[in-house]
């Protein structure tokens, strides 16, 4: 891989209806939506915001950004 390639920090955006707002437990795992996989936090955040705003009328619906790069390399220091 060339040295000039940007660092790839994979992020996954998922969402669905929660059982209650106190816990992050999905009501039905079969209905969890995989919005997409993104190469950095900025693009994942843009996708997350769009999905969250499109479901604002459903208080039980939540979307999350999963930092996959931290799962793939748990020794990696978080960006500050």
Domain ranges of the chain: 1-23+32-73
Looking at domain 1-23+32-73, does it have CATH number 3.30.70.2400? yes
> Of 24, 27, 25, 45, nearest to 35 (Cα)?
45
> Of 9, 7, 15, 10, nearest to 49 (Cα)?
15
Q: What is the mean pLDDT of residues 42-57?
A: 96
Q: How do residues 1-46 score in pLDDT, each as one tens digit? A: 556 666 779 999 999 999 988 889 999 999 999 999 999 999 999 9
66 three-class SS: strand
What is the C-alpha to C-alpha distance for residues 45 and 11, in angstroms, rounded to an integer? Answer: 9
Q: Is the dihedral of CA 11, 15, 21, 27 positive or negative?
A: negative
Q: What pTM value is reported for the model?
A: 0.80
């Amino acid at each position: 891989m060339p040295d000039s390639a940007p660092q790839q920090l994979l992020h996954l955006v998922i969402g669905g209806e929660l059982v209650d707002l106190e816990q992050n437990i999905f009501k039905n795992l079969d209905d969890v939506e995989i919005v997409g996989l993104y190469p950095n936090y900025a693009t994942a955040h843009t996708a997350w915001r769009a999905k969250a705003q499109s479901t604002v009328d459903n208080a039980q619906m939540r979307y999350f950004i999963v930092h996959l790069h931290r799962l793939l390399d748990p020794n990696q220091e978080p960006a500050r």
